[in-house]
Amino acid sequence: MSYEAVIGLEIHSELKTNTKIFCGCATSFGAEQNTHVCPVCLGLPGVLPVINKRVVEFAIKAGLALNCTINKFSKFDRKNYYYPDLPKNFQTSQFDLPIAEHGYVDIEVEGKTKRIRVTRIHMEEDAGKLVHSGNTIKDSNGSNVDYNRTGVPLIEIVSEPDMHTAAEARAYMEKVKSILEYIDVSNCKMEEGNLRADVNVSLRPVGTEKLGTKAEMKNLNSFKMVESAIEYEIDRQEEILDDGGHIAQETRTWDDGKGITVSMRSKEQAQDYRYMPEPDLVPIITTDEEIAEYKKNLPELPDARRARLVDEYGLSEYDAGIITNSRAMAEYFDDVVAAKVDAKLAANWIMGDLAKNLNAESKTIESSPVSADNLAKMIALIEKGTISSKIAKKVFDEMWQSDTDPEKIVEEKGLVQITDSNAIEKIVDTVLAENPKPVEDYKGGNAKSIGFLVGQVMKLSKGKANPGVVNKLLKEKLDK
C-alpha cells in the first residue's frame, strides 16, 4: 500500500534575554555548573517568580512575525511531571491561553509555495541538564544535574500537522529560524541547543483522512537530524504497517551515530500533566494599541526582503532566497550593493567564493575576514575592467588572508589587467607560433580548439590579459 506521511513540529527556541524568565539569574551559555541558580529557579519553598518583561515582548514579536493572533489575555500554568531536570516537579508553561495562536509560515519546496499553519506559540521555562557519571549510562551509579539552564526562557512554536515530507519539515524549520533571526529574539545557535524540534510523524493510506498513530522524536537540534529522523521513521512505520502490525504511540529518540530511532518511553499509559493555573503569576494583558505598536516596529521579514531583492536588483528568486535566508547575509549584501556595484555580481561573489570560504573554515558571515566594503571595492575593479574575474579570485584570496583594500593588493602584486592590444598581441603571436597543432585543428573546422589557445595566452600573461581582448585578437588572426 502507499502511505502519506503526516508531520507536525514543536520548535523550542531559547530567547535572547540577559536573565531567566522568572528570576535575575544570567542565561549565558557555558558557565560552570550550578553557578546561575537562585532560590526561584531552584524551586525552593516560599519563593515568588516574576516574569521578565522582555520575554513577553519577544514572544509577542515572534507571534506577529509568524502571522499569529496575539491573545490579549494570557496566563501561565503548571505542567506537572517528575523528572530531576525540573527542581519544582512542574514546568511553568502556558496551557489554554498561550500568548499567540492561529498563525502560518509560507515555505518553498521544489519551487512551490506551501502554507504551514502555526497552531500556537507559548512561553515557558527550559529545564536543567542531566550529566551522567561513569563511562556509559549503563554503568553510572547516578546522574548529575546542572540547573543553570533551568528557567532560561523558551517559546514553543507548535505547527499543525501540515507537512508531508522530510524536505517540507526542514524547509519549515529553516524558515522559522530565519524569521526568529530577523526579529532578533533568539540566537538560534542550534549547536548550543538554542533551537530544537520535537517531531511528530504518522502515516495514513493515501487518500484517507483519518490520522494514524504518531511517534514523537524529541530534541532534534540540527536540520540534518530532523530530515534523517523523519525519513527513517517513515520507512520504519511503513514496514510495520505493511506487515499488518500497529504503530505504538511512543516517544523515540534519534541515534545520530547509528542513524536510527529508538523507543524511549511509551505514551500509551497516559501522560497526565494535570495542568493548573499558576497561582504565583498574574495574567498578562496586552492592549490593541500595544499590539499595533509591536507590529509597526517589526523589521522587514525574509519574504518581503526577498521580494525586494528580486524587484530592486533583478536577482533570481532562487538567489534572493539564499541571500535572505540569513539576516546577516542579507545585511552583508545590502552593505555591498550600497556602494552601487552590480548586484548580480555581488550576489555571485557572496554565494560563491565568500560562502565557500566561510563554510570551509566554519565561520559565520558576521566574522567574515573580507568586509563588505572591500568586497564592493573589488567588484568595482572588475566592473571597471581593472582586473579580470580570474584575477579577482586571487585578489579575493589575498583579502581573505588579510582584509586589505583590494586596490592596494592589485597595485602591490602587479595584478592590473593588460588591456593594451599591442602587449597582448605579442603574447598571442608567441602562443600561435608555439602551438601549430591546435591552430591547424581550428582552421580544419574544430572551433573548440580556440579555447585551448585562449588558455595558453592567459597562462603566459599570468592571468592578467583581458580575456575579451585575447579572444578578439585570436579570432582575428586565426580567421585571416
The smaller minimum CB distance to other proteins, of residues 144 and 316, is found at 144
Nearest to 157 by CA among 6, 284, 273, 9: 9
The smaller minimum CB distance to other proteins, of residues 26 and 310, is found at 26
What's the closest the beta carbon of residue 392 comes to other proteins, in angstroms?
46
Specify burial of residue 60 (Cβ count, 10 A radius: 0-12, 13-18, 19+).
Answer: buried
Residues binding other proteins: number (CB under 8 A): 55
What's the closest the beta carbon of residue 180 comes to other proteins, in angstroms?
18
Using CA atoms in the order 395, 400, 402, 406, what is the torsion angle rounded to 10 degrees? Answer: 30
Cell output for 88: 519544582
What's the closest the beta carbon of residue 72 comes to other proteins, in angstroms?
11
Tell me the C-alpha to C-alpha distance, in Å, between residue 260 and each of 79, 232, 238, 255: 30, 6, 15, 5
The smaller minimum CB distance to other proteins, of residues 15 and 474, is found at 15
145 near other proteins, judged by CB under 8 A: yes
265 near other proteins, judged by CB under 8 A: yes
Q: Which stretch binds other proteins (CB under 8 A): 133-141, 221-229, 324-332, 368-376?
A: 133-141
Beta bridge partners of 252: 217, 263
Dihedral of alpha carbons 237, 241, 244, 249, sign = positive
**Which residue's entry shows cell 499488518?**
244
Cell output for 91: 514546568
Nearest to 299 by CA among 330, 268, 338, 253: 330
**According to CB under 8 A, which one of 69, 131, 262, 397 is a site residue for other proteins?**
131
Tell me the C-alpha to C-alpha distance, in Å, between residue 394 and each of 78, 347, 408, 419: 60, 18, 13, 18
The smaller minimum CB distance to other proteins, of residues 293 and 383, is found at 293
Residue 318, phi then psi, degrees to nearest 5: -65, -50
Nearest to 473 by CA among 407, 417, 420: 420
What's the closest the beta carbon of residue 82 comes to other proteins, in angstroms?
6
466 near other proteins, judged by CB under 8 A: no
Is residue 354 classed as helix, strand or coil in its secondary structure?
A: helix
Residue 255, phi then psi, degrees to nearest 5: -95, 100
Q: Which stretch binds other proteins (CB under 8 A): 18-26, 216-224, 234-242, 396-404?
A: 18-26
419 near other proteins, judged by CB under 8 A: no
User: Which of the residues 41 through 60 are near other proteins (CB under 8 A)?
Assistant: 42, 50-56
The smaller minimum CB distance to other proteins, of residues 131 and 304, is found at 131
Measured between alpha carbons, how far is 333 from 355 in angstroms, rounded to an integer? 12
**According to CB under 8 A, which one of 69, 83, 211, 462 is a site residue for other proteins?**
83
272 near other proteins, judged by CB under 8 A: yes
The smaller minimum CB distance to other proteins, of residues 113 and 141, is found at 141
User: Which of the residues 208 through 247 are near other proteins (CB under 8 A)?
Assistant: none
39 near other proteins, judged by CB under 8 A: yes
User: Does residue 406 contact residue 371 with C-beta atoms inside 8 Å?
Assistant: no
358 near other proteins, judged by CB under 8 A: no
Measured between alpha carbons, how far is 331 from 324 in angstroms, rounded to an integer? 8
23 near other proteins, judged by CB under 8 A: yes
What's the closest the beta carbon of residue 342 comes to other proteins, in angstroms?
43
**According to CB under 8 A, which one of 245, 277, 352, 385 is a site residue for other proteins?**
277
User: Which of the residues 306 through 325 are near other proteins (CB under 8 A)?
Assistant: none
**According to CB under 8 A, which one of 14, 101, 126, 146 is a site residue for other proteins?**
146
Q: What b/e string do you get for 419-428 counting C-beta neighbours within 10 Å, with b at 16 or more?
A: eeeeebeebb
69 near other proteins, judged by CB under 8 A: no
What does the binding site for other proteins look like in residue numbers (CB under 8 A)?
17-19, 23-26, 32-39, 42, 50-56, 73, 75, 80, 82-84, 97, 130-133, 137-138, 140-147, 264-265, 272, 274, 277, 279, 281-285
